């Protein structure tokens, strides 16, 4: 038998009694081979739209309020970094933030710069920068001791009290003379200081909170940032030798 393609004839078998014979069906023709469609060319990629560069967000810088005091940046590790010095001092009353600028009579007040122009200045420049005790000694100011008697004289007490300070800071010298030239004894005793040794517990924390020395110093007297004006007495050799 020659080698070739063998077609198997399919037979349809009729059930018995149906009167139908067995017929052979023609071999099935192989299905026509259809030409495969050419592969579709990939569509040319459209260039992506160039994204617009984002616009920088517009932030409005708040304007400083009128009369605000600007403080220069300081070294965070510097001593007294919390006791910063004001850039502008001795502003006129209508600009100092304490008086009503709309009051027409406020301009009748004397500006501090005019009043302090001829007074001696402190070395550190802290506070209002005026050496008040020196101005008093030089006769440039004449405090009135009593309101209704311009000829009344103060009762000056020339007595220094030394406070022993723990640690390496120099001891504190409190001069009664510099204070009693301005103040009466009742201004400090007994409301602020009890005039008895060991009765007052004075600390830098209490002074910073406006108590004890802080009732005046930092408000009307020189601030506590000028340390050596109070810590003016060096440690004795005996105190240094203590363990």
In which band, very low, low, confident or very high, does the pLDDT at 241 lie, cut at 50, 70 and 90?
A: low
Q: What integer is the mean pLDDT of 42-53? A: 56
Percent of the chain with pLDDT over 70: 61
The strand pairing partners of 146, in sequence order, are 149
What pLDDT, on the 0 to 100 scale, is given for residue 194? Answer: 95
What pLDDT, on the 0 to 100 scale, is given for residue 78? Answer: 61
What pLDDT, on the 0 to 100 scale, is given for residue 8? Answer: 44
What pLDDT, on the 0 to 100 scale, is given for residue 221? Answer: 87
Give the separation between CA 52 and CA 182, rounded to whole angstroms: 74
What pLDDT, on the 0 to 100 scale, is given for residue 122? Answer: 86
Give the separation between CA 231 and CA 201, rounded to whole angstroms: 17
Q: For 7-36, what is each residue's pLDDT tens digit?
A: 444 444 445 554 454 444 555 555 555 555
In which band, very low, low, confident or very high, does the pLDDT at 90 lie, cut at 50, 70 and 90?
A: confident
Q: What integer is the mean pLDDT of 110-117? A: 90
CA angle centred on 187, ends 181 and 193, rounded to 5°: 110
CB atoms within 10 A of CB 66: 8
Question: Is 79's pLDDT higher than 60?
Answer: no
What pLDDT, on the 0 to 100 scale, is given for residue 243? Answer: 55
Instruction: Determine contact, residues 213/178, Cβ cutoff 8 Å.
Output: no
Per the model's pLDDT, the better-predicted residue between 208 and 68 turns out to be 208
Give the separation between CA 239 and CA 148, rounded to whole angstroms: 49
Report the SS3 class of residue 206.
helix
Q: For 178-214, what is each residue's pLDDT tens digit?
A: 999 989 999 999 999 999 988 999 999 999 999 999 9
66-80, 89-103, 156-170: the lowest-pLDDT one = 66-80
Give the separation between CA 189 and CA 87, rounded to whole angstroms: 36
Provide the whole-model pTM.
Answer: 0.58
Give the separation between CA 220 and CA 57, rounded to whole angstroms: 48
Helices (runs of H) and strands (runs of E) counted in the chain: 5, 4
Name the nearest CA neighbour of 173 among 160, 158, 192.
160
**What are the chain's domains?**
88-117 (no CATH), 153-243 (3.90.10.10)
Q: What integer is the mean pLDDT of 153-165? A: 93
Question: Is 171's pLDDT higher than 60?
Answer: yes
């Amino acid at each position: 038998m020659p080698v070739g393609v063998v077609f198997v004839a399919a037979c349809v078998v009729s059930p018995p009694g149906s009167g139908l014979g067995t017929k052979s069906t023609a071999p099935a023709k192989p299905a026509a081979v259809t030409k495969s469609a050419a592969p579709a060319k990939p569509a040319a990629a459209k260039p992506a739209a160039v994204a617009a560069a984002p616009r920088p967000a517009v932030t409005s810088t708040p304007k400083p309020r009128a009369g605000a005091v600007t403080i220069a940046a300081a070294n965070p590790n510097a001593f007294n970094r919390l006791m910063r010095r004001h850039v502008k001092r001795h502003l006129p009353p209508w600009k100092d933030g304490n008086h009503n600028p709309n009051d027409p009579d406020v301009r009748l007040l004397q500006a501090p710069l005019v009043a302090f122009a001829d007074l001696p200045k402190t070395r550190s420049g802290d506070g209002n920068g005026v050496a008040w005790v020196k101005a008093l000694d030089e006769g440039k100011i004449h405090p009135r001791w009593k309101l209704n008697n311009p000829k009344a004289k103060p009762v000056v007490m020339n007595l220094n009290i030394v406070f022993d300070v723990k640690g390496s800071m120099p001891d504190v010298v409190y001069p009664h003379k510099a204070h009693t030239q301005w103040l009466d004894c009742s201004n400090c005793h007994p409301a602020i200081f009890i005039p008895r040794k060991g009765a007052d517990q004075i600390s830098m924390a209490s002074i910073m909170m406006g108590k004890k020395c802080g009732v005046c110093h930092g408000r009307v007297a020189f601030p506590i940032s000028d340390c050596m004006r109070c810590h003016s007495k060096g440690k004795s050799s005996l105190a240094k030798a203590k363990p």
